[in-house]
Amino acid sequence: MNPRLFTFRKFARARSVPTESERAQDSLFGAYSYRRTGTHFAGVCASGAVVAAAWLGLATLAGAQEFKLTFADQNSPTGWGPAHALYPWVKQVEEATKGRLKIDVYPSQTLIKGVDMWKGVRSGIADIGWCVQGYWPEQTPLSDVMSLPFLPIPSAEKGSEALWKLYEKFPAIQKEYSDITPLVLYTASPSMLLTNKKQVKTLDDLKGLKVRVLGGPPTEMAKALGTVPTLIPMPDMYQALDKGVVDAGLFLWEAIHGFRLYEVGKYYTEAPFYTAYFSVCANKQKIASLPKEVRDQIMSVSGAVGAKFWGRSFFDTAEQGVIEKVKAGNYDLQRYPVPADELARWRKLAGEPVWDEWVNKMEAKGHREARDILNAALEFLKN
């Protein structure tokens, strides 16, 4: 036998088991420890394969495709709603997608005017938009059930949950949003009556008051209550209350905070006069182009969960914001929750007749499910 070959084999057998110091060295350097000796060589190769796979995984993760969406909003970024709902939700989406999706917000109508938001998102000017559905009363007529007067809406969070449940339950409501993809549907908190001269407690107190309301069913409600409905833009309401152009107005906590109406009105009559509803809608084609995993991650913080979050954060929490402003400025705030028996009188006079009128109007337009939708809304608000 070749002496050199014999010596190599003997050396290999002798070196097939590593010493303690070599084990320590291999433990420290892993794949970088390269020993061509018997079974130890195979073990090091296996170790190297594991590390290589790990590096490959990291490279794949680092190279995962990232996406960017635009979000058009009509509100100031410092407003209560955007600061407490919109921007926190954007952060939730980015965290849910593990940083793969970034959302650029264009506030204060810099990308799309508020009244053009639905059309702008549908056409792709923005990928996502914040929509005031009341701008387009004929766009989502069945969803308007949530804006009927004196519905038993205890909070924006509860109203938002009910609206999303209606969307999930009724295909006719889903069809109203078929031009876009609704990520969130949510309602405001109920409007309350703000006066600066006297506290309104009964129907008799309402008689003859000039009250700022919105058009449509709220105007009919105001007439039925014996008030004189007056249409005044929100930016003009501070002066209108202060100068006595109107006696009262129906407002949300968020509007009272944003327009500093707590400075000119001190009597708050709390009853669910009516509310408004909104959507966070997305361009259908843009959303559909995202991987399913990313779409699912977006919806994990949208849908029913997002509806409750937006309702609570955009509107319900604004109440505390008003209270803090009142205390800081030493203003007067006198609250009067309307008792259940008196509220029942108001609902019977100016609520239920408007409900029936809405159902009849919808049925006349071919929406046979209108009564079922109203009943479902009442049921969802109770539970």
Q: Kindly state whether residues 82 and 93 are assigned to the same domain.
A: yes
Query: Is residue 383 one of the residues assigned to a domain?
Result: no
Count other C-beta atoms under 10 Å from residue 66's C-beta. Answer: 11
139-189 confidence digits (pLDDT tens): 999 999 999 999 999 999 999 999 999 999 999 999 999 999 999 999 999
Mean pLDDT of 238-252: 96
Domain count, the chain: 3
Q: Three-class SS of residue 272?
A: coil
Q: Which residues of 198-232 are buried (b: 16+ CB within 10 A; e: fewer)?
A: eebeeeeebeebbbbbbeebbebbbeebebebbeb
Q: Contact, 38 vs 16, CB < 8 A?
A: yes
Q: Kindly state whether residues 212 and 354 are assigned to the same domain.
A: yes
* Res 50 pLDDT > 50: no
Q: Kindly state whether residues 113 and 157 are assigned to the same domain.
A: yes
192-229 confidence digits (pLDDT tens): 999 999 999 999 999 999 999 988 788 889 999 999 99
Q: Kindly state whether residues 340 and 205 are assigned to the same domain.
A: yes
Query: Is residue 255 one of the residues assigned to a domain?
Result: yes
Domain limits for position 224:
192-275+331-368
> Residue length, the chain?
383
Confidence (pLDDT) at 28: 32
* Res 18 pLDDT > 70: no
Q: Kindly state whether residues 250 and 292 are assigned to the same domain.
A: no
Q: Kindly state whether residues 172 and 83 are assigned to the same domain.
A: yes
Confidence (pLDDT) at 111: 98
The span from the CA of 51 to the CA of 152, in Å, is: 61
Q: Kindly state whether residues 172 and 106 are assigned to the same domain.
A: yes
* Res 31 pLDDT > 70: no
Q: Kindly state whether residues 97 and 213 are assigned to the same domain.
A: no
Confidence (pLDDT) at 16: 43
CA distances from 333 to 204, 231, 261 (A): 22, 25, 11
* Res 56 pLDDT > 50: no
Q: Kindly state whether residues 47 and 163 are assigned to the same domain.
A: no
Residue 266 buriedness (CB in 10 A; 0-12 / 13-18 / 19+): middle
Q: Kindly state whether residues 71 and 185 are assigned to the same domain.
A: yes
Q: Contact, 149 vs 273, CB < 8 A?
A: yes
The span from the CA of 106 to the CA of 224, in Å, is: 41
Whichever domain contains 256, its CATH number is 3.40.190.170
Q: Kindly state whether residues 250 and 294 are assigned to the same domain.
A: no
Q: pTM for this one? A: 0.81
Query: Is residue 265 one of the residues assigned to a domain?
Result: yes
Q: Kindly state whether residues 106 and 255 are assigned to the same domain.
A: no
289-319 confidence digits (pLDDT tens): 999 999 999 999 999 999 999 999 999 999 9
Assigned token pair, 81: 């709603």
Query: Is residue 219 one of the residues assigned to a domain?
Result: yes
* Res 336 pLDDT > 50: yes
| Closest-CA residue to 279 (of 134, 152, 130) | 130
- CB proximity list for 361: less than 8 A, separation 6 or greater: none
The span from the CA of 224 to the CA of 354, in Å, is: 9
Confidence (pLDDT) at 110: 96
